[in-house]
Structure formats: structure tokens, C-alpha cells
Amino acid sequence: MPDSLYPDLSTRERNAYSVQRLLAGMLDKKKQTGIEFEISDSIAKNMKRTGFFMPSSMLGRAYPGGGTAPAQTYSPAAPYVASTTGAALVGQEFAPGGFIAALRGKSRVLQLGATVLPGLVGNVAIPRLGTGAAAAWISPEGSDITESEASAMDQVRMTPKTVAGYAQATRQFIVSISPEAEAFLMRDLARGVAQAIDIAAIAGTGSNGQPLGILGTSGIGTVALGTNGGPITLAALEALEETVTAANVDTDDMAYLTTPAIVKEMRGLVDSANRPVWSYFPDPTGKPGRAPGALNGLPVARSTNVPSGLTKGTGTGLSAVLFGNWPDLLIGEWGVIELATNPYGAGFSSGGLELRVMATVDIAPRHPVSFAAITDAS
């Protein structure tokens, strides 16, 4: 992040940061002390704005309850909504790891290697070279070098887009929360925004404040299965791979991303000699990895964030399959999470708090040809 935006924090200060204390101070001005409000005031001053702010990087720090939340950013997809009163966490004995998190689709885009650009300020234009300069052999010896210049220069443009989340919490949750519940709250926020960024990166519409996702980007490769869609085939998947590699995109970071149902079908595919083409990726630590296996030696990740209700002709309930070089997907982050409260909302009579969370990012592929998709798999 730019030094002018965030104060320089030590590891101890970062670990001491508490969203609980920030929320408690937002409820009661007398409690607006400590590092949380020093950081918020510093950001507000540098941004020349008023309100309460926290660095988005706080969602990725280590927590008192153990473990680390995913280091993700907010995304302008559908708003993240958490509607819990927190009453079940107050005045009881509970196990530190016993909180029940919301069920969410697996967030895979960042795990597959998408490139995060933190600390952006204003609109961003990244120069892009369409065709590089070519090298040529010199013959005979002593001849002049053949001139060759780079061409088709353009720009990848990224503009701030804002997502708003909404949550409710009781006063008891805010003032009586344990360190473990603090970790629970932060992890849930991180998971929520990670899911939002996945949804936008995969299928953002580019309208109504959303960024444009891969599936809507002009210039990506496409492979069709049929007039009304059709079952996934090995030939179609190999055509996806060929579409990308033929554009001179061939790296160790290429991978598939699709729905759990299509992954199930992939596991049954065989080659012309009736040999399975699926292979499993066992993790020696016993923890789930970014992908449950591979097809043709390339990782296959699954998530319910990938569209599975698409239509084509008379076909319905069709799924998307994406393939590409994931580091070529850029996720720009303007880096500040803005918090605002409405103490006079639905929980006013019981001392509760309505909380609005806002953050700003944008998404763009470095090269559209780095990706290809099937959108009619049944």
C-alpha cells in the first residue's frame, strides 16, 4: 500500500488490531481510542474524508483464535449480506472452534493465481503490448539488423467500483465478544468478500456498478458443445486448451475452473484407448488443495460460484467451464474498507447496530486470449 495512505504498523500492532473495539467505539464515542481509531483517523485524513476506515489487509492477518484468514479483497459483485444478531455468542460457554460459519461457494480465482494490484489511487491504465518486437538472424555476417518494432499498443483500464455489505449485530455481541469470536467475525468477512470477488471475476456483468468478468470479456476463446448445449467431452476440453495455447499462452499456471457437477463428469472421461484421463492430487497434509485433481495433467478447480443455470436453445441448467492462465487476471484493489453504522435501524430498541461495509476494486484480464470458456455444458 502507498505509505501516504496507511500508517506504518508493526507486526505487534497489526496483531493487536480488533474489529470488536472498532465497532464498540462506533457505538460509543467515549471508546474511540486505541490503535483501531488511530489507523482510521490517519486514513481519513490522508483521503480527506470523514468516517471509519480499516485496511483491507487486516482481513488476512493472523487471529487470536489461531489460523489465518484468506488474504482476499472485496469485489463489486452481488452485495455480501450477513444477517446475524450475535445473541447466540453471548453469556455462554463455547468452544473456540465451535462457531458455525455460513456455507459459501469455494473461492478459487485467487487460489489459482490471479494477480492482485494493491494500493491503487484513481483510475488506472496499464500499458499492454499486442505484438512484441521480433528477432532475426543476421546473414551474411556484418549485415544490418532487420528493424522490427513492437506494435498494437493499448491499455488495460481499471476504474474503482464499490461493493456494499450489510450486517446486524447486538450490542452484547460487540461489547462482550471473545477473541475467538473476533476471529470468527473476521474470517466470515474474509470469506464473504472472497466469494464476492470470485463471482465478479468469473461472471461480472460490467454494468450496474459491477466489473466485467471473464465470461463477458470480448476476445476470450470459446468452444461450443451443441445447439442446445451438451455433455462435456474430452475433445471439447482439449479444444479449450488448444484455443489458449495457440495464442502463445502456455505456462505452468494454466488450470480449469468449473462446477462440482462438471468435475464429476470429468472424472469419468477416457481417451481413445479407454484410459482414464483424470488424475487425483492427494495432499500429504490431509488438507484440501486448490484443486481436487487434474485432467491432461492440468489442475481442475471446482466452485459453485461458477454459473450453472445458463441457457442455450432449449437447453437449461447449463454450466460454464473456464480454462486459462490465471496470473493474467488482474484484480485491482483501492485498499480501504469503509465502515458506517446506523444506530437507529431495526435493532435500535435493543441497543443493536446496523453495519455497512464498503470497499473498492476492479477486475480485468491482462490479455483476453489468456482465457477460454465453454458455457453450454450439461
How confident is the prediction for the chain on average, in pLDDT?
76
Query: Is the model more confident about 64 or about 151?
Result: 151
- Whole-model pTM: value is 0.73
Higher pLDDT, 138 or 203: 203
Kindly state the average pLDDT of the residues 198-223.
94
Q: Could you tell me the three cell numbers for 138?
A: 543476421
Say yes or no to pLDDT of 187 above 80. no
pLDDT given for residue 55 in this prediction: 78
Mean pLDDT of 205-220: 94
pLDDT at 276: 92
Who has greater pLDDT, 323 or 113? 323
139-165 average pLDDT score: 73
Query: What is the pLDDT averaged over residues 264-287?
Result: 81
- pLDDT (0 to 100) of residue 4: 42
Highest mean predicted confidence (pLDDT) among 20-29, 32-41, 322-331: 322-331
250 burial type by CB count under 10 A (0-12 exposed, 13-18 middle, 19+ buried): exposed
Q: Is 162 left (phi over 0), alpha (psi -120 to 50) or beta?
A: beta
Burial of 160 (0-12, 13-18, 19+ CB in 10 A): middle
CA distances from 347 to 30, 143, 168, 353 (A): 21, 82, 8, 6
Omega prior to 343 cis, within 30 of 0: no
Query: What residue segments make up the domains of the chain, in order of their start?
Result: 11-117+159-195+332-362, 214-329+366-377
| Contacts (Cβ under 8 Å, ≥6 apart) of 249 | 324, 325, 328, 367, 369, 370
Q: How far apart are the C-alpha atoms of 192 and 17, rounded to whole Å? A: 20
Question: CA nearest 168: which of 322, 369, 4, 345?
Answer: 345
Bridge partner list, 299: 294
- pLDDT at 66 (0 to 100): 33
Q: What is the mean pLDDT of residues 3-8?
A: 51
Query: In angstroms, rounded to a whole number, what is the distance separating the alpha carbons of residues 197 and 213?
Result: 10
Beta-carbon count within 10 A of 292 CB: 18
Whether pLDDT at 174 is above 90: no
Kindly report the CA angle at 32 between 59 and 88, in degrees rounded to 5?
60
Lowest mean pLDDT among 140-149, 266-275, 335-344: 140-149
Least confident of 149-163, 202-216, 285-299, 330-344: 285-299
- Helix residue ranges per DSSP H, the chain: 11-16, 19-27, 35-47, 171-176, 179-203, 234-245, 260-266
Contact 298, 120 (CB under 8 A): no
Residue 280 confidence class, pLDDT cut points 50, 70, 90: confident
> Which H or E element spans position 276?
none
Cα dihedral 130/201/72/266 (nearest 10): -100
Q: Which of 113-127, 169-183, 223-237, 263-277 has the lowest mean pLDDT?
A: 169-183
Question: pLDDT tens digits for 55-111?
Answer: 776 655 433 333 333 333 333 333 333 333 333 333 333 333 333 344 456 678 988
Angle ∠(252,254,286) on CA atoms, nearest 5: 80
For residues 264-279, give the mean pLDDT. 94
Four-way CATH pick for 214-329+366-377: 3.90.420.10, 1.10.10.410, 3.30.2320.10, 3.30.465.10: 3.30.2320.10
Long-range contacts of 136-140, Cβ-Cβ distance < 8 Å, separation of 24 or more: none
Per-residue pLDDT at 221: 96
Highest mean pLDDT among 34-48, 96-110, 153-167, 216-230: 216-230
Looking at per-residue confidence, does 177 or 220 come out higher? Answer: 220
Mean pLDDT, residues 166-173: 68
Neighbouring C-alpha atoms within 13 Å toward the C-beta of 296: 15
- Residue 277: the pLDDT is 92
User: pLDDT category, 290, cuts 50, 70, 90?
Assistant: low
Least confident of 4-8, 162-166, 300-304: 4-8
Percentage of the residues of the chain whose pLDDT score is greater than 90: 33
Minimum mean pLDDT among 109-118, 222-231, 238-247: which range? 109-118
Q: Is the pLDDT of residue 195 over 70?
A: yes
pLDDT of residue 103: 45
Mean pLDDT of 6-14: 69
